[in-house]
Amino acid sequence: MKRIIIFVVVIASMFMLVSCGSGPGSNAISYNFKQGSAGLEVKFLPKAPPPKIYPTSDFKMIVDMKNLQAYDVTQAKMKLVGIEGKYFDVNPLEQNLDVLVGRSLEYPSGDQVFVEFSVHAGELFQNAEQYRNPFFLKVHYFSSMEFTDTICVNPSFYKVYDGGCQQRERKSYSGQGAAIAVRSVEQIVFPSGTGTNLEYRFTLGNAGRGKVGFVNLGKVRLGGKDLSCEFTGKGIIDKRRVELKDIGQKTTLICKTFLKDQRSYETTLTADFTYDYEISQQHSLNLVK
């Protein structure tokens, strides 16, 4: 009995701890939205569509869409796929949406929009009792992602401490507040005659529940210096464009530079990407007698 009580208390405490500290709260002013994984929150409003639909009735399907990313969503397109026109006449089946602003200090909640679809229900087939039509709510959009981190650059191959900083060969990240994320960055040093070749390997992958289409590389900078980069691995379209077809698929971006200075120093490593993404959710419409 004692063990059970202790177990229950521990679980309750864990729940309380988890529920605390989520979101910016009163510290919004210092909260960094460009972390973790985030995407679009898409859902139907309760009873829109209604759980039971009657023949020849009119009703609305209303989608509540919220941008929880730290980046704007552009060229968003929402569509309903798989609805049989004979039973449900949906108008329109596809809608284009305006820009949805991402979360920021000025706009911590992110942009929210309600999208309506008007539907007219048809008749049931002969004397059927009901008709259930599973369908898919799909949202396709374009967005961007920026990776920024302060890293220690130590061109010296011999790892001699020079009063600067301590280099970390590999760093992992939880995300940058978007549906794709840089998961890790690896720093590799190659000595080369008068200087040092530095190579940065970014592991980039799908961080959301949808599907990534194409990822395009913008600029990668180490401090003020542009790095020469290219994607490697599966789905490569060209050096600066990759297609991540399977969910969970990762790709690697390799960036190189040459440094003459042998002293270690801290600087900012930044990379920006643009991508297109698709979310798909399954729902159903139930036409009853």
- Rounded Cα distance between 199 and 228, Å, is 10
Instruction: From residue 193, give the alpha-carbon distance in Å to each of 15, 190, 258, 259.
Output: 57, 10, 11, 11
Distance, CA of 151 to CA of 183 (rounded, Å): 15
d(CA 91, CA 95): 10
* In the complex, minimum distance from the CB of residue 126 to other proteins, in angstroms, rounded to a whole number: 6
Does residue 1 interact with other proteins by CB under 8 A? yes
Contact status: 75 vs other proteins (CB under 8 A): no
Amino acid identity, position 260: K
Instruction: Tell me if 52 contacts other proteins by CB under 8 A.
Output: no
Among 278, 287, 289, which residue's Cα sits nearest to residue 120?
A: 287
Whether residue 157 contacts residue 196, with contact meaning beta carbons closer than 8 Å, is answered with yes
Q: How far is the CB of 56 from other proteins (least distance, A)?
A: 17
225 to 264: interface string for other proteins, x by CB under 8 A: ----------------------------------------
Annotate 209-264 with DSSP letters as a single string: SSEEEEEEEEEEEETTEEPEEEEESTTEEETTEEE--STT-EEEEEEEEEE---S-
Binding other proteins (rule: CB under 8 A), the pick from 83, 100, 182, 255 is: 83
Token code pair at residue 67: 């941008």
One character per residue 101-130, x = contact with other proteins (rule: CB under 8 A)? -----------------------xxxxxxx
Closest separation in Å from C-beta 101 to other proteins: 27
If one asks whether residue 275 binds other proteins (CB under 8 A), the answer comes out as no
Stretch 132-171: interaction string toward other proteins, x if CB under 8 A = xxxxx-x---------------------------------
2 in contact with other proteins (CB under 8 A)? no
User: Cβ atoms within 10 A of the Cβ of 160, count?
Assistant: 9
Q: For residue 8, state whether it binds other proteins (rule: CB under 8 A).
A: no
Least distance in angstroms from the C-beta of 244 to other proteins? 14
The minimum distance between CB 79 and other proteins, in angstroms, equals: 7
- 88 belongs to the binding site for other proteins (CB under 8 A): no
- Shortest Cβ 207–other proteins spacing (Å): 20
What is the distance between the alpha carbons of residues 213 and 206, in angstroms, rounded to a whole number?
10
Residues binding other proteins (CB under 8 A): 1, 4, 51, 79, 81-87, 124-136, 138, 280, 282, 284
